[in-house]
Amino acid sequence: MQYRQSGHSGIQLPVMSLGLWHNFGANDDYGVARDMVLTAFDRGICHFDLANNYGPPPGSAELTFGRIMKDDLHAHRDEMLISSKAGHDMWNGVYGTGSSRKNIMASCDQSLRRTGLEYFDVFYSHRYDPATPIEETMQALVDLVRQGKALYVGISKYPADKQREAYAYLQREHVPCLLSQYRYSMFDLKARQCNFDLAVAAGSGIICFSPLAQGLLTGKYLDGIPADSRVAKHSPFLTPAHITPKRLEAVRQLGVIAANRGQSLAQMALAWVLAEGRVTSVIIGTSSVNQLESNLSALDNPTFTTEELNRIDEIISIPEISF
Ligand SMILES: NC(=O)c1ccc[n+]([C@@H]2O[C@H](COP(=O)([O-])OP(=O)(O)OC[C@H]3O[C@@H](n4cnc5c(N)ncnc54)[C@H](OP(=O)(O)O)[C@@H]3O)[C@@H](O)[C@H]2O)c1
């Protein structure tokens, strides 16, 4: 595994992190979930990305992870960087969503209980909440650090103007933002300009999610919807409507470049995210150990020729494929 320094902090992150958004919930196979976490850790992926609402049902991915920690990994806690987040819909009731102090404080306590951890390495505001003053959200994050419930803080998906305000508040309180989390893939370039620039200027690391566009950038949907895929499992986040002819055509063309490089399309898509040198780590999601092992091999061929990059740019510059 390779590691990159996260912004101006003293923390190094593995270039690949494992996310537990899908495939770690109460309805998923615990044995497979455990094997994925243990394989990841054995291969140097020491950063695990959680959120209070991951499941389904919400909270169950943290319960799964807590069980693996207790049964298998507790002795390695100091070698692990574990993140969680609050901000999206979590429990019914007026305080169960958003980025108020009330929600963030209660959420962090609940997440600690579910995972059985004493502290999170990183606690994120999962989203900017226009109904809450940003000062309130940021002060809640600062206080989690002061209370010893988090070592570092992060922000996720903040729009540029609020991202700027968040960094400034956190810097004033001497709790700098360790990580800024944005979606970034060959099918979603939006964060690359403004959000990445702001993060670098503020000394924050950058961590990217959905690098395979939730599986589209593996080529798995080229011949229909595989029975065991995210779309077939009715994820509300990736539906048949996302599998458009234009995206499939781009996937086909990208697959040719990947094959010429001796890589799978998934491997090339991950290498491409990491070729953006400002990215500290890419969060992968997997539904099997085979996928995990295969994705790790992206690191065997990380560099691109100028011709390859130009051809990829040409393919992905079609506006209709962006999402
Ligand atoms: N901050 C945020 O708001 C936010 C939002 C989203 C995600 N995240 C984080 O980012 C993580 C990753 O997101 P993601 O799951 O969307 O990432 P992704 O890498 O774009 O998609 C992962 C999915 O693609 C499929 N896949 C992966 N490797 C494959 C391979 N080699 N061959 C075939 N299929 C493969 C699997 O789905 P199937 O096998 O089931 O089809 C897998 O679950 C999440 O777990 C979470 O931690 C954060």
pLDDT per residue as tens digits for the range 184-232: 999 999 999 899 999 999 999 999 999 999 999 999 999 999 999 999 9
Ligand 1 center to 19 CA (angstroms): 7
Tell me the pLDDT tens digit for each residue of 109-159. Answer: 999 999 999 999 999 999 999 999 999 999 999 999 999 999 999 999 999
pLDDT at 134: 98
Nearest CA to ligand 1 atom 22: 285
Does 269 map to a domain?
Answer: no
Q: Is residue 198 one of the residues assigned to a domain?
A: yes
Q: What is the pLDDT of residues 260-306, one digit of tens each?
A: 999 999 999 999 999 999 999 999 999 999 999 999 999 999 999 99
Q: Is residue 319 part of a domain?
A: no
| Chain mean position to CA 149 | 21
Task: Find, among 263, 295, 262, the residue nearest to 45 by Cα.
Answer: 295
Closest-CA residue, ligand 1 atom 34, reads 215
- Number of domains composing the chain: 1
Ligand 1 atom with minimal separation from the 266 CA: 31
The predicted model gives 229-248 an average pLDDT of 94
* Atom number in ligand 1 closest to CA 217: 20
Distance 214 CA to ligand 1 centre (A): 5
Q: pLDDT of 14-68, one tens digit each?
A: 999 999 999 999 999 999 999 999 999 999 999 999 999 999 999 999 999 999 9
CA of 186 to the centre of ligand 1 (A): 14
Give the pLDDT mean for 69-83.
98
The CATH code of the domain that includes 69 is 3.20.20.100
Per-residue pLDDT band for 319 (boundaries 50, 70, 90) equals confident
302 is a domain residue: no
- Please report which confidence band the pLDDT of residue 73 belongs to, taking 50, 70 and 90 as the band edges: very high
Distance CA 293, CA 96 (A): 37
* 60: in domain: yes
* Cα→Cα distances 190→157, 166, 200, 284, 286, Å: 11, 19, 16, 19, 24
How many angstroms does the Cα of residue 202 sit away from the middle of ligand 1?
28
* Other residues' Cβ atoms within 10 Å of the Cβ of residue 38: 14
- Closest-lying ligand 1 atom to the alpha carbon of residue 185: 20
Q: Which atom of ligand 1 is nearest to the CA of 211?
A: 20
Residue 314 lies in a domain: no
Once rounded to an integer, what is the mean pLDDT over residues 94-106?
97
Range of the domain at 206: 3-218+276-287
Find, among 59, 144, 161, 51, the residue nearest to 101 by Cα. 144
Query: Does 49 reside within a domain?
Result: yes
Distance separating alpha carbons of residues 270 and 300, to the nearest angstrom: 11
Q: Could you identify the atom of ligand 1 that is nearest to the CA of residue 238?
A: 16
3-state helix, strand, coil in the chain (%, to 5): 45, 15, 40
Query: Nearest Cα to 57, choosing from 92, 82, 85, 83?
Result: 92
Q: E strand or H helix at 12, and its extent?
A: strand 12-14
> Which tokens go with 18?
């494992």
Mean confidence (pLDDT) of the chain:
97
Pocket of ligand 1 (CB under 6 A): 19-23, 49, 126, 156-157, 181, 209-215, 218, 220, 229-230, 266, 283-287, 291, 294-295
Q: What spacing in Å lies between the alpha carbon of 98 and ligand 1's midpoint? A: 24
Residue to mutate, 13, 214, 237, 243, ligand 1, most ligand atoms under 8 Å from C-beta: 214
Check pLDDT > 90 for residue 323.
no
Q: Strand 205-209 vs strand 16-19: parallel, antiparallel, or unpaired?
A: unpaired
Atom in ligand 1 nearest the alpha carbon of residue 290: 31
Q: What is the mean pLDDT of residues 172-192?
A: 97
The residue whose CA has the least distance to atom 45 of ligand 1 is: 19
Q: What's the start-to-end Cα distance of the chain, in Å?
A: 30
pTM, to two decimals: 0.97
Asked if the structure places residue 295 within a domain, the reply is no
